[in-house]
Amino acid sequence: MLRETSILRRVDHPSIVKLYEVYEDESNVFLVYELLQGKDLRSKLSELLCLDEKSLSDCLWKLLHGLAHLHSRNIMHKDLRLENIFLRAPTSLTDACISNFNLADFTDPSKCIGPAALLPPAKPNYKKYG
Amino acid sequence: MKKIKYSDNSYANYKFGIRLQRGESKSELFTESADNFNKLYEEIKRFCVLPKFAKKYKVLTKFKSANGAHLYKCFRFSDSTQYCVKIVDKYALSE
């Protein structure tokens, strides 16, 4: 959790969830994020019957920008999937935002961590990652 | 790092100050104008652990909880907007 806050304090990008403030008292820690009004991308996509190319490419372009921003700061998200991408507005698909940095870490090329089901099949042979 | 904001002090020219505190050590920063102070405050805030959550926010609804952390929708009094707040129980943490 400490790592999550130190990562989010370091990044500032429109496609990455914003951490505004951190509070602490005797028994709890409070992390104040922006409120994302929309759903996560998986439930949104299963709701929609068809998608136009323009909005999908906009959405992906922004997400890739966010990801490039993370990688340029030597940060790996390590849990990037549809459930962890949220939409800022309930209706438009274009304003997507990467969140849930629970597993995120600063780059260490010797490790390979992620949800088991989403690991690449050649994982044992992967020497370099991220 | 903890921060205490306090505005009146014995230094006549430097009325606006921030105190940063960590354990035993602390340092104090002062500035002359309120504008400068607010700018500084906004910049430093991101990197601090702040006290008195309960006074500044009102917890509205809970919408998700996952491995020891609970996500709540909260209302902030100072700017009357809603934020998403993750509340973590310190004793449930293993790190």
Q: Is any Cβ of chain B less than 8 angstroms from the Cβ of A121?
A: no
Q: What is the pTM of this model?
A: 0.72
Structure tokens at B58: 């009102």
CA B90, distance to chain mean position in Å, is 18
Rounded to two decimals, the ipTM of the complex is 0.73
- Residues A48-103: pLDDT tens digits? 877 788 888 888 888 899 888 888 888 888 888 888 888 888 777 778 888 888 88
Domain ranges of chain A: 2-125
Q: By CA distance, what is A24's nearest residue in B?
A: B51
- According to CATH, the superfamily of the domain at A2-125 is Transferase(Phosphotransferase) domain 1 (1.10.510.10)
| DSSP sequence for B62-84 | EEEEETTEEEEEEEETTTTEEEE
Rounded to a whole number, what is the distance in Å from the CA of A52 to chain B's nearest CA? Answer: 30
